[in-house]
Each structure stands twice: as C-alpha cells, then as structure tokens.
Copies of this chain bind each other. A is one copy, B any other.
Amino acid sequence: MYGYIGSMRTEPGRRDEVAALLLRSADALRAFGCRSYVVGVSDSDADVIWVTEVWESKEAHDASLDLPEAQDAIAAAMPLLTGEFTRQETTIVGGLGA
C-alpha cells in the first residue's frame, strides 16, 4: 500500500476554505482505492494544512488526481495557496486504519 504525507501553506486566513475544498470529495475517494484521507491543520502554524493518505497503490493515488472532483478542488484551491508544499511518499507496513 502507498502512503502520502503532504503539507501546504495557504495565503493568510484562507486555511479553512482550502481544508473544506480538500474534504469536499474525500468520501468519494474510497471507490478509487483510497483507504484513508485525513485533513488536519497545524497546531503550530495557522496557515499550514497537513494531509495524510493511504491508498491501495501509488497508481490509484496518481489516477485520482485526474478525477473531475479532484481537478475542480485543485483549481479552486490553487489561488488560495502560496506554493509552499512538502511531500513524503511511503510504503505502508501496516497499522490501525491502513
């Protein structure tokens, strides 16, 4: 299984809007091989969002980015982001909720 851990910095004050965009179609991802898609906001930085994901495969994750819902969310979110991202890709060993 494939894990993705990413952060993004939003323009000041736009964090909650972006989080809502990310969550808009989260539940629908299950049908495309997503096991977990969790959005959290940093406790130490008011403009940073963290997303942690578990997918059946990297291919499933990458394909999901082409879904209309994902493309719409990305297009709507981009103007609200500064362009500062971090990303970690992992191979999931296991756990509760994996």
Contact = CB atoms under 8 A, between A and B. Distances in A.
Contact of A39 (B19, B38, B51, B93): B93
- Copy total for this chain: 2
Nearest to A37: B96
A55 to B, nearest CB: 11
Contact of A38 (B22, B50, B89, B95): B95
Contacts of A39: 92-95, 98
Interface in A66-98: 88-98
Interface in A15-46: 16, 19-20, 22-23, 26-27, 29-30, 34-44
Interface of A: 3, 5, 7, 16, 19-20, 22-23, 26-27, 29-30, 34-44, 50-52, 54, 88-98
